[in-house]
Amino acid sequence: MMGFLKFVQDFCYPPLCYLCGNFLAEHGLCANCWGRIKWISAPYCNVCGRPFDIAMHQTCAGCLHKMPHFDHVVSVCCYDEISRNMIIRFKYADDTYLTQLFAKWMIRAGEEILSSADMLIPVPMTLLKRLKRKYNQAELLAMEISKHAKILYQPELLYKSKNTSPQESLTKKQREKNLKNVFSIKEEYAVQGKNIVLIDDVMTTGSTLNECAKILKIHGAKTVCAITIATVV
Ligand SMILES: [Zn+2]
Ligand SMILES: [Zn+2]
């Protein structure tokens, strides 16, 4: 049955490379496009996960200057033209193959933090935004990762209680101000002593992850790590 379903799916939606559109044997990227993605590998900051040019430090200047509330962020690749293309497609076209592909990448990149995780929490959207978008892409990723990594998925524990102005055009300082105290927790004791992993698509300045980590730590979370598809470098 599975074989037949796959045949029907492939017949209706033949596997094409997500970036160049070439035919492939399986959904994903062709070798050429794969090589164009800026994958993140060591050396990188042991807090925010942003890559270094040279392997001299363990923690970047930004994190040393103001230590974030999160313990460690792992991102799969750098945010650039190529990854942006894929992420936009994932955000606005309900593409399940892309969800599976990204989740696979995130599990591989975040293997170490997932091995001690007690729960996965998607970075929340306000209800209004979620209704407009129909789904929260962070939820899709967290659900998929939870299924394969067998880690508890907790989409309702953390929520965004206030609407904020769009972050895109704001500076880091403005973003921090914009996000101050907008996240809340439903069951105060559920996070106590737990190792929590936040899931999101892109880390821009890190302000969102930082605010989420702050409230989780206030309520006693032991560690708060995060896995994102891409990071702005
Ligand atoms: Zn390609
Ligand atoms: Zn850093």
| 153 CA from centroid of ligand 2 (Å) | 27
| 34 CA from centroid of ligand 1 (Å) | 7
What domains, with CATH codes, occur in the chain? 1-36 (no CATH), 38-231 (3.40.50.2020)
| 33 CA from centroid of ligand 1 (Å) | 4
Separation of alpha carbons 212 and 179, rounded Å: 10
3-state SS, residue 136: coil
Peptide bond connecting 155 to the previous residue in cis, omega within 30 degrees of 0: no
| 15 CA from centroid of ligand 1 (Å) | 11
pLDDT (tens digit per residue) in 188-224: 778 999 999 999 999 999 999 999 999 999 999 999 9
Length of the chain as a residue count: 233
What is the model's pTM? 0.89
Ligand nearest to C-alpha 209: 2
| 108 CA from centroid of ligand 2 (Å) | 21
Q: Supply the DSSP string of 153-186, one letter for each residue.
A: E-SSSEEE-S----STT--HHHHHHHHTT-EEES
Residue 2 has pLDDT above 60, yes or no: no
Q: Which two tokens stand for residue 144?
A: 């998929």
Predicted local confidence at residue 11, as pLDDT: 59
pLDDT (tens digit per residue) in 147-179: 999 999 999 999 988 777 777 777 878 877 777
| 30 CA from centroid of ligand 1 (Å) | 4
Separation of alpha carbons 110 and 36, rounded Å: 21
Ligand nearest to C-alpha 86: 1
Predicted local confidence at residue 37, as pLDDT: 94
| 166 CA from centroid of ligand 1 (Å) | 32
Q: Which two tokens stand for residue 141?
A: 């990723």
Residue 132 has pLDDT above 90, yes or no: no
Please name the residues in contact with 147: beta carbons below 8 A apart, sequence gap of 6 or more: none
pLDDT (tens digit per residue) in 56-97: 779 999 999 999 999 999 999 999 999 999 998 888 776 778
pLDDT band of residue 12 (cuts 50, 70, 90) is low
The percentage of the chain sitting over the pLDDT mark of 70, rounded to a whole number, equals 94
> What are the start-end ranges of the E strands in the chain?
72-78, 119-122, 152-153, 158-160, 183-185, 195-203, 223-231
Ligand nearest to C-alpha 45: 2
| 65 CA from centroid of ligand 2 (Å) | 9
